[in-house]
Structure 1
Amino acid sequence: MLLATPNIAAIPLLPGFEPLVEAVGEKEHNLVAAKGAARLRLCLRAALPQCPDCLVIQNDRCAAARLAAATRFERATRGLGLGPDRVASPSAYRRSRLALLLDIQDGIDAGIPPRDLAFGLVFPRQRPLAGATWKGSGERRHTLRLIADARSLVTSGYRKLLCHD
């Protein structure tokens, strides 16, 4: 949720919301606030002093998610219930894939070889393959693709999780 405001230091925290994470920069103030299980993500950007506070919705592939976030923010400012954030929440499949990719990256960081990652995380119910069978297997190719995806997620993909470009 992008909010253009003359004073980025004054956070429009809603009653009952507590800040979880904050990052303050020269031109932006990012904040994640929580009230129970509900989360609001705010990005405050500096606007001209005479301008009123404005919600900014960029017209890109994430416009629908940003519009839903703006609606949730507006409901919260009026004291109405937020309800579940289905647009911004990843599906069950996407959550499990992201968790798998992060587990794979943790394994890579710990120095676990790809074969052990394959049969420990990706194919846990399958018996490990050895030698030439492993080298020519689809399991190896699939595991190497997942390793590449995990590295890509860690090096450049975190912002994509939040639909920022």
Structure 2
Amino acid sequence: MVIIEAEDPGRAIPLPSDTEPLVEIATDEERHIVAAHGTARLRLCVRHAPSRPVPAFAISCDAAFALRLAAASRLQRVTRGDRIAADRAALPTTNQRARYTGLLRIHDALEAGASSRDLAFGLVFPNHRPLAGANWKGSGERRHVLRLIADARRLIAIGYRRLLLHR
């Protein structure tokens, strides 16, 4: 994430016209933006700093210093109109892709009318024998599936499909 301090957070970053904002949240003090520029993702936090007539990068001297510096450099190249390669650090890992795929399957099955028990023994634990009655109600499998259902609904609600599909 690139942190920028500026007098006017609404006009601090001259992003190219083909940059598409995917997520934007604003408060009185700062504005958070995730934008797509081609295949690249730009994650920005623009803070209100009345004493800064010219926008400035705020880069902490911590363990992520080199990563923050690279992100700031990438943002500068985008604003100048330079072409940039895909950001490998922004892509989901293999495990994250598997998790997101599983959560999408769970959400799609719920939309099609599947019950939590159907999900448990059809998608999540396909090699287990189905549990019935009180055994199902008190099982760890049921609690696990209910947590996955809550995760799937939360991720769909915040629009994570749009982030993953560059839409």
What's the TM-score, normalizing by structure 1?
0.64
How many Å apart are 1:16 and its aligned residue? 3.9
Gapped regions of structure 2 (runs ≥ 5): 159-167
Of the candidates 30, 33, 36, which is equivalent to residue 35 of structure 2? 33
Aligned alpha-carbon RMSD (Å): 3.8
Separation in 2 of the partners of 1:119 and 1:90? 27
How many Å apart are 1:17 and its aligned residue? 3.1
User: SS of 2:76's equivalent?
Assistant: helix
Deviation readout 1:99-129 (Å, 9 max, x if unpaired): 4245546767998543211223224x53752
Of the candidates 60, 69, 83, which is equivalent to residue 85 of structure 2? 83
| Displacement over 6 Å in runs of 4+ | 105-111
Q: Higher mean Cα deviation, 82-91 or 45-54? A: 45-54
Matching residue's letter, 2:116: P
Residue 66 in structure 1 maps to residue 65 in structure 2: no
User: 1:8 — aligned with what?
Assistant: 9
Report sequence identity in percent: 33
Whether the 8 Å contact between 1:3 and 1:42 is mirrored in structure 2 is yes
Q: Higher mean Cα deviation, 1-10 or 36-45? A: 36-45
User: 1:163 — aligned with what?
Assistant: none
Separation in 2 of the partners of 1:62 and 1:152? 28
Q: Higher mean Cα deviation, 32-41 or 54-63? A: 54-63
Greater relative contact order (Cα 8 A, min sep 6): structure 1 or 2? 2
Whether the 8 Å contact between 2:19 and 2:38 is mirrored in structure 1 is no
Gapped regions of structure 1 (runs ≥ 5): 159-165
Q: CA 1:3–1:144 in structure 2 vs 1: closer, same or farther (change >3 Å)?
A: same
Deviation readout 1:120-165 (Å, 9 max, x if unpaired): 3224x53752338x75xxxx6456336436646839xx8xxxxxxx
User: SS of 1:87's equivalent?
Assistant: helix
- Say how many residue pairs are matched: 152
Q: CA 1:87–1:68 in structure 2 vs 1: closer, same or farther (change >3 Å)?
A: farther
